[in-house]
């Protein structure tokens, strides 16, 4: 996979030292204070806002100490901040606070409460450790629409507009980073696009999916069905893992969804479901899966958080259609929590964007591998040997 | 409507670019950080207080990027701050924190908890997106006392004292701004007054209502009935949309309210109702409508928040008398939430005051149009085609 | 009452302009920002801590604008801060945050959570405005142990140690201030003492009660009964309103309380009751009244807040014995809330200490008068004409 | 006990002045502001983070005013900060906020929420004072596995890695400090180790337990049973109070636990139990006791707090096996709260580490004695004469 490490950094496949009999090393090296200091130099706004979040969560626990020449989290985040500031401050904890009110592609819509509600709702979910059992290794892999993936987390659809959030990233580099990195980590990338964009652009972006042999989902903005249907042959030709339609930025009726489901050979997933009735309508439309999502809080202010609405939907549909979700997934523990609440696979957006800006495909793979290691550890410490065994019994109620 | 753009700014009628098939653009341009920086220069107190509110809500999402010569939100707020500081810091989020303890006309009473309770109670109300349906356009218009308005939000009664909050605003300019701007945006203005003020002032303010052909409510402070009744002919002559009496700054008995209802030709609305029993007494008195309000938290410290008390009142009176309300309405989503809780029309105070100081009638119209566009978008994303279809089913419970 | 204005300031008897038909003026003049600025100059710690309290409550709403030569709140607080800093920062909101961990006589015990729990529990109690009625004047007076007082708030027992909290206050001045000021405002003062202190001191302090004709409660630390009983003749001779024993700094048994009740001619009130079972034991011991109190949070860390425990006690004992209480009473609204929760009379400590340091007896009277005016207004706006009519129906549940 | 005061400081055995008839002096001397100021000089990050914790808890109430030559809390904490910064900022309140995201041995795992959940859950537990009774002295002593200890708090197992957190502490000094100090205070120390470390180190650390005549628990990381069993003779020879196995850093099955229980002569305690089912499995394995613990939040992010999960476990197992626990124990009130929730003995980690760095064994003894005095006072003010009488009736529910 030569093309994904062209930035001269060598990716570390095993981002955490293997757990030995002494337990799961709690890491070292990366230092929140230093990031906070950098934050101060680059823009006090981000720092101050961070300093006042109700809970002081911070950057993910680092996995290694940053030996020279090896990719490490600190370097990725530092570089990401250099390139993304001020659109994104790459806060130690990405909670929608510092960027609230910014609008645009990363911040939450309006006052940013939907983004913050996503964060808070997930943070309130607590795990119950289970430590008396014989699970010493957990299998983090799972299967979605026939694709075996190394962990139940894939790339969230992000469009070419993401190249405008920071400095010096072409659309080609962007999609190669997020798809290539995810594929390198054994999971699926994503290509998000708008079918009304220039035809050459749309075609080039579709080619990304093909180049990675369909190991990515393809997401279309909810443009009119006639436009989507016009592109159907090209889209199906990519053999993307599935077609995602995000109705949270433009509703579609059951009839419209049915039309799309029937027209496409690939599975159709409807993204932007926040209510059981909407989810049931999707099932009526024959969709292959649903994605519980409020578009990362970027379309409508003041919506409920994902972790608040997911359980009601999962209680009726778990096992009937795959349930995807997204919203502030930052660590392997977050993945575990969403699965315990009923999701089958989560999608990761903002954190992969940071990783892509901070380390290209290598950065994305680094992040996904780190998340997988964190998930593996969290599964052992909650006593679940495999993804299918994750359920609500590991949550504090 | 020449007289409302005499400040040389050209008002933009369509404040948001129309929603195309690609969704509802999340805006750009206005930048919370910049306002925070300006805030620092002008007065750290406001900044620090803002920096510590539990949730980091911020200014409304901007609707346009501020092309030269066109009115934009950033310029309005910057100018408003210049003119209103320190009485009002024009905080990114207007939540009663920075001004708590200031007393006077804008801050909450006493420790400011009533103002803050209004804010917090509304912020806690969460929307449930509904995205599988065929509502692609929502009609934001509604009718109140025979007046068709472009959105279910009107000006809250604010008196001539508002001219003392900032620099360089005559009573004439003040009322022309808030009434003219609302009328320009297709809704109703408000003239608040005290009938014991100098007769010429009262007469001039009543003339404002007449000049705008009654497209404003007229609010009298709860002075003694005999004084109100003495002015009845002049008030009725204005053909104001309705007469509002704010009993939250001075209670009135059922007998007193009945007397007013019988004396006036125009509808009488009692403002300052926080309990069902009070609301039922108003109905006994024959009022045309009630306004659930704690006077913006400016009369009594430590009252419950509006969003906390509104549902109990609406559960009994919805559809029997129009229910108005006010309290921290800042965006179209706030309008939607109050209507989902049972209100028919909301009133907007502080934010129109800021808009008036920042852009005169044009600023007021700009704000109302922006709020209408936000409401339209929020209605589509909750699947409600018209105001009458808004109900509690779009709320997260 | 010449002797209480010997500091050259003229006390204003009517601290709020009378409420006219236009409502209850929301004041002006005193400015939180200015106090915050002063705070910055004198010690950033207090400021920063204040700046981060979850809710931004602030100093009491001022009652007048500070005309030269007239006592006003701003001057009192400024002077109090000069004299009390750093033992007390005279924070805009006195919530136990800035002084947490200081120990000593003003701060909460240990980590300060009991003090903060008192504050938070009371702040969470919300009033329901009632505005449709014919109550335009409320009678704030009440009677306790035969003493008619102008409002249901008296001085909390504070001992001579309070003279060590700031600069230049003799024991004589201290007690003259807090008793004299309360008496001037038509209510009762308090003399708190330790009967093992030097005999001359104890005698002089007892004389204060006599000098003010028994218009004060007398509180003894819970020293051994034999010591208290030795002083019984002198104590009874003062004709103090009642004898208060604060068992929250040293428990006493039913037998010990019974012994005291029988020995004294004056009513005996047991202070420091936080549980119904303790309250019932007091009744068994024949006490004249109980005081629900955790000693202002100054004896035991992490206790529940007063407003949390008061209702359970009042539900059984209201009307059987007078129920006093204390804990973060800062405004007339606070008085109203505690009475609505079941108390008969509240005691005010820290705020009178600040007033005494800031304005002597005049400052104390000023504060009590202001609180009475606030209570009067709050009673009108909740529709209760007299103290005996205050009950839980005015609270948001 | 000469060897534990070799740092030239004289330990004060009675850290609080005895409670006289006047009550329990609320101390003085140590000053949070001063620590905050020192904090500012040494590193703003810690200060700022502290300044924004939701509740402003602070350092323990000081017990004496720091007379020259006598050990006092202020000096201990100041010195601890000098030696531990930046690994530990020795915050006035140790709540996991300032160090969140640091990883390593002191901070919480990942975003630090488990550490913070421990803190918050315990802080929310509130005591109900009980003051009408005849308990004037409380006996804080208890017995655990045949060892009478002066208070129900022992040292938490901390390993030799703790010597890397700060400057200039050998493994020998480290264990001598934490064991020696605890023994001097009449309770048990702890030696935590990893049996795969260099043999000489393991042997030397085992010798510490022997030297203090078994007045310490010995904790082994959950390495493979065969390794633990190989060391069984040496471990049993130490006559440690018990063998602790912390399965929260590596689960063990019932069979594996059973094997250890059978092999060892000394009691085996399983640490890292967060669920009733795990606790019952331990009982099945025949363990001597369980320790409810999430490893101080240092192994798995986002777990529930100890005070949240302890009651369910205690409700079934109280009285059947000794229940130990740990998690943010900072004061005697914290000890009382955990016991009221069902624990028999608590373990203290981070605060003893600070004490050891700040004052060696003397500092550790000082802290334990202070905590005992605080517990004694808290027991009197909740009316419990002895440890066995502590139950949930003293908590606010």
Residue D44 touches partner C, C-beta closer than 8 Å: no
Please give the C-alpha separations between residue A196 and each of A263, B20, C392, D137, D325, in angstroms, as whole numbers.
19, 11, 62, 81, 61
Q: Chains A, B: CB contacts under 8 A, how many?
A: 167
| Cβ–Cβ gap C22/B308 under 8 Å | no
Could you read off the pLDDT of C74-112 as tens digits, one per residue? 999 999 999 999 999 999 899 999 999 887 679 999 999
Q: With pLDDT > 70 as the criterion, what percentage of chain C qualifies?
A: 82
**Who among D117, D227, D273 is closest to A131 (CB)?**
D273
Would you place residue D69 in the very low, low, confident or very high pLDDT band (cuts 50, 70, 90)? low
**Who among D116, D251, D273 is closest to A133 (CB)?**
D251
**Who among A250, A298, A303 is closest to B21 (CB)?**
A250
**Who among B57, B129, B396 is closest to A111 (CB)?**
B57
Instruction: Please give the pLDDT value at position D45.
Output: 26
Q: Which residue has the higher pLDDT, D167 or D67?
A: D167
What average pLDDT does range D319-338 have in this prediction?
Answer: 98
What average pLDDT does range D32-59 have in this prediction?
Answer: 28
Instruction: Please give the pLDDT value at position C69.
Output: 63
In which order are the strands placed within the sheet that holds B153-155?
B153-155, B345-348, B323-326, B289-292, B268-273, B243-246, B216-220, B189-193
The CA R_g of chain B, rounded to the nearest whole Å, is 20
CA atoms within 13 A on the CB side of C44: 8
For residue A350, what are its two tokens?
Answer: 């903002």
Residue D65 touches partner C, C-beta closer than 8 Å: no
> Per-residue pLDDT for C14 more than 60?
no
Instruction: Please give the pLDDT value at position C68.
Output: 52
Best of D128, D130, D131 to disrupt the C interface (most C CBs within 10 Å) is: D131
In angstroms, what separates the C-alpha of D376 from chain A's closest C-alpha? 33
Residue A125 touches partner D, C-beta closer than 8 Å: yes
> Per-residue pLDDT for D245 more than 60?
yes
> Per-residue pLDDT for B56 more than 80?
no
What average pLDDT does range C165-172 have in this prediction?
Answer: 91
> Among A321-335, B102-116, D140-154, where is mean pLDDT lowest?
B102-116
Residue A397: CB atoms within 10 A of its CB come to 8
CA-nearest residue of chain D to A375?
A: D300
> Per-residue pLDDT for C168 more than 70?
yes
Instruction: Please give the pLDDT value at position B314.
Output: 98
Phi, psi of C165 (to 5 degrees): -80, -20
Would you place residue A102 in the very low, low, confident or very high pLDDT band (cuts 50, 70, 90)? confident
Instruction: Please give the pLDDT value at position D61.
Output: 34
Closest CA to C60 of C23, C16, C120: C16
> Per-residue pLDDT for C54 more than 80?
no
Cβ contact C189:C176 at 8 Å: no
Q: Which chain B residues are Cβ-neighbours of A100 within 8 angstroms?
A: 32, 56-58
- How far apart are the C-alpha atoms of C330 and C340, rounded to whole Å? 16
Instruction: Please give the pLDDT value at position A101.
Output: 86
Q: Which residue has the higher pLDDT, C11 or B279?
A: B279
Residues 6+ apart with CB under 8 A from D41: none
Those of residues 253-272 in C touching chain D at CB distance below 8 A are 253-257, 270, 272
> Per-residue pLDDT for C17 more than 80?
no
Closest CA to D126 of D337, D329, D306: D337
- How far apart are the C-alpha atoms of C80 and C96, rounded to whole Å? 17
| Cβ–Cβ gap B131/A43 under 8 Å | no
What is the SS3 assignment for B109?
coil
Question: In sequence order, what are the beta bridge partners of C395?
Answer: C127
Those of residues 89-108 in A touching chain B at CB distance below 8 A are 96-98, 100-105
In angstroms, what separates the C-alpha of D113 from chain A's closest C-alpha? 7
**Who among D101, D273, D309 is closest to A59 (CB)?**
D101
> Among A95-109, B213-227, B344-358, where is mean pLDDT lowest?
A95-109
**Who among A28, A92, A377 is closest to D104 (CB)?**
A28
Instruction: Please give the pLDDT value at position D129.
Output: 98
Question: In sequence order, what are the beta bridge partners of D132?
Answer: C252
- Tokens 């250099």 found at: A82
Could you read off the pLDDT of A190-211 as tens digits, one per residue? 999 999 999 999 999 999 999 9
| Cβ–Cβ gap D251/A131 under 8 Å | yes
Q: Please, which chains are in contact with B (at least 3 CB pairs closer than 8 A)?
A: A, C
| Cβ–Cβ gap D27/C104 under 8 Å | yes
Please give the C-alpha separations between residue C106 and each of C57, C90, C158, D258, in angstroms, as whole numbers.
19, 11, 10, 55
Residue A74: CB atoms within 10 A of its CB come to 19
Instruction: Please give the pLDDT value at position A36.
Output: 33
Residue C130 touches partner B, C-beta closer than 8 Å: yes
Q: Which residue has the higher pLDDT, A218 or D22?
A: A218
What is the SS3 assignment for C127?
strand
Residue B393 touches partner A, C-beta closer than 8 Å: no
Burial A183-203 (b: 16+ CB within 10 A, else e): bbbbbbbbbbbbbebeeeebe
What average pLDDT does range C144-162 have in this prediction?
Answer: 97
Residue A200 touches partner D, C-beta closer than 8 Å: no
| Cβ–Cβ gap B102/C126 under 8 Å | no
> Among A166-170, A301-305, D231-235, D252-256, where is mean pLDDT lowest?
A166-170
Q: Which chain D residues are Cβ-neighbours of A131 within 8 angstroms?
A: 247-248, 251-252, 272-274, 278
- How far apart are the C-alpha atoms of D170 and D50, rounded to whole Å? 30
Residue B26 touches partner A, C-beta closer than 8 Å: yes
Could you read off the pLDDT of B10-55 as tens digits, one per residue? 322 222 222 222 222 233 223 333 333 332 222 222 222 222 222 2
Please give the C-alpha separations between residue B182 and each of B204, B352, B376, C41, C48, in angstroms, as whole numbers.
19, 9, 17, 45, 41
Q: Chains C, D: CB contacts under 8 A, how many?
A: 171
> Per-residue pLDDT for B269 more than 60?
yes
> Per-residue pLDDT for B62 more than 80?
no
> Per-residue pLDDT for C277 more than 90?
yes
Q: In degrees to the nearest 10, what's the CA dihedral of A167, A173, A179, A180? A: -120
Residue C196 touches partner D, C-beta closer than 8 Å: yes
In angstroms, what separates the C-alpha of A126 from chain D's closest C-alpha? 5
Would you place residue B103 in the very low, low, confident or very high pLDDT band (cuts 50, 70, 90)? confident
Question: In sequence order, what are the beta bridge partners of C252?
Answer: D132
> Per-residue pLDDT for A25 more than 80?
no
In angstroms, what separates the C-alpha of D240 from chain A's closest C-alpha? 21
- How far apart are the C-alpha atoms of B155 and B183, rounded to whole Å? 10
Residue D44: CB atoms within 10 A of its CB come to 16
Q: Where are the beta strands (DSSP E) in chain D?
A: 126-127, 142-144, 147-149, 153-155, 189-193, 216-220, 243-246, 268-273, 289-292, 323-326, 345-348, 395-396
Q: Which chain A residues are Cβ-neighbours of B378 within 8 angstroms?
A: 300-301
Best of D26, D39, D370 to disrupt the C interface (most C CBs within 10 Å) is: D26
- Tokens 């006010």 found at: B326
CA-nearest residue of chain C to D134?
A: C253
In angstroms, what separates the C-alpha of B348 from chain A's closest C-alpha? 18
Residues 6+ apart with CB under 8 A from A196: A223, A227, B21, B22
Instruction: Please give the pLDDT value at position C269.
Output: 98
Read off the pTM.
0.87
CA-nearest residue of chain C to B248?
A: C131
CA-nearest residue of chain B to A55?
A: B54
Give B47's DSSP letter: H
Q: Which chain A residues are Cβ-neighbours of D278 within 8 angstroms?
A: 130-132
Residue A60 touches partner D, C-beta closer than 8 Å: yes
Closest CA to B359 of B61, B83, B158: B83
In angstroms, what separates the C-alpha of D170 from chain C's closest C-alpha? 33
Q: With pLDDT > 90 as the criterion, what percentage of chain B qualifies?
A: 79
Q: Which chain A residues are Cβ-neighbours of D282 within 8 angstroms?
A: 132
- How far apart are the C-alpha atoms of B361 and B175, rounded to whole Å? 9
- How far apart are the C-alpha atoms of B7 and B358, rounded to whole Å? 11
Instruction: Please give the pLDDT value at position B282.
Output: 98
> Per-residue pLDDT for A26 more than 50?
no
Instruction: Please give the pLDDT value at position C102.
Output: 87
| Cβ–Cβ gap A57/D113 under 8 Å | yes
- How far apart are the C-alpha atoms of B204 and C196, rounded to whole Å? 73
Q: Please, which chains are in contact with A (at least 3 CB pairs closer than 8 A)?
A: B, D
Instruction: Please give the pLDDT value at position D47.
Output: 25
What average pLDDT does range A58-74 have in this prediction?
Answer: 54
Please give the C-alpha separations between residue A216 and each of A105, A205, A327, A368, C288, in angstroms, as whole numbers.
21, 11, 19, 15, 79
Q: Which chain D residues are Cβ-neighbours of C313 within 8 angstroms?
A: none
Give B325's DSSP letter: E
Mean pLDDT, chain D, integer: 85
Is 0.95 exceeded by the ipTM? no
Could you read off the pLDDT of A295-309 as tens digits, one per residue? 999 999 999 999 999
Cβ contact A308:A121 at 8 Å: yes
Would you place residue B139 in the very low, low, confident or very high pLDDT band (cuts 50, 70, 90)? very high
Residues 6+ apart with CB under 8 A from A94: A119, A328, A330, A350, A351, A354
Please give the C-alpha separations between residue C341 and each of A280, C57, C308, C315, D310, in angstroms, as whole numbers.
48, 21, 9, 9, 33
In angstroms, what separates the C-alpha of D124 from chain C's closest C-alpha? 8
In angstroms, what separates the C-alpha of B161 from chain A's closest C-alpha? 30
What average pLDDT does range A280-307 have in this prediction?
Answer: 97
Instruction: Please give the pLDDT value at position D102.
Output: 87
Those of residues 227-256 in B touching chain C at CB distance below 8 A are 227, 247-256
> Per-residue pLDDT for D119 more than 60?
yes
Q: Which chain B residues are Cβ-neighbours of A294 within 8 angstroms?
A: 129
> Per-residue pLDDT for A149 more than 60?
yes
């Amino acid at each position: 996979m030569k093309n994904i490490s062209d930035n001269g950094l060598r990716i570390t496949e095993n981002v955490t030292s293997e757990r030995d009999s002494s337990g799961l090393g709690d890491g070292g090296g990366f230092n929140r204070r230093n990031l906070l200091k950098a934050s101060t130099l680059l823009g006090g706004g981000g720092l101050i806002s961070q300093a006042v979040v109700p809970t002081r969560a911070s950057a993910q626990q680092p996995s290694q100490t940053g030996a020279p020449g090896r990719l490490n989290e600190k370097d990725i985040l530092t570089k990401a901040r250099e390139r993304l500031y001020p659109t994104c401050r790459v806060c130690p904890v990405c909670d929608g606070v510092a960027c609230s009110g910014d609008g645009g592609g990363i911040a939450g819509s309006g006052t940013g409460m939907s983004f913050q509600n996503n964060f808070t709702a997930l943070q309130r979910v607590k795990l119950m450790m289970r430590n008396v059992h014989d699970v010493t290794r957990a299998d983090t892999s799972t299967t979605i629409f026939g694709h075996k993936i190394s962990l139940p987390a894939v790339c969230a659809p992000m469009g070419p507009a993401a190249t405008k959030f920071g400095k010096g990233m072409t659309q080609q580099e962007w999609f190669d980073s997020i798809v290539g990195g995810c594929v390198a980590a054994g999971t699926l990338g994503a290509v998000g696009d708008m079918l009304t964009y220039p035809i050459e652009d749309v075609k080039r972006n579709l080619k990304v999916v093909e180049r990675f042999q369909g190991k990515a989902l393809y997401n279309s903005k909810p443009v009119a069905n006639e436009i989507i249907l016009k592109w159907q042959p090209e889209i199906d030709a990519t053999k993307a893992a599935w077609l995602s339609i995000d109705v949270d930025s433009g509703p579609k009726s059951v009839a419209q969804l049915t039309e799309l489901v029937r027209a496409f050979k690939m599975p159709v997933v409807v993204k932007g479901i926040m209510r059981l009735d909407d989810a049931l309508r999707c099932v009526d439309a024959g969709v292959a899966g649903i994605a519980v999502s409020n578009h990362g809080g970027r379309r409508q202010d003041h919506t409920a958080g994902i972790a608040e609405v997911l359980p009601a939907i999962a209680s009726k549909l778990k096992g009937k259609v795959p349930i995807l979700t997204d919203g502030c997934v930052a660590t392997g523990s977050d993945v575990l929590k969403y699965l315990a609440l009923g999701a089958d696979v989560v999608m990761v957006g903002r954190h992969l964007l940071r990783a892509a800006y901070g380390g290209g495909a290598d950065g994305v793979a680094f992040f996904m591998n780190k998340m997988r290691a964190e998930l593996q550890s969290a599964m052992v410490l909650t006593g679940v040997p495999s993804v299918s065994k994750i359920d609500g019994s590991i949550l504090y109620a």
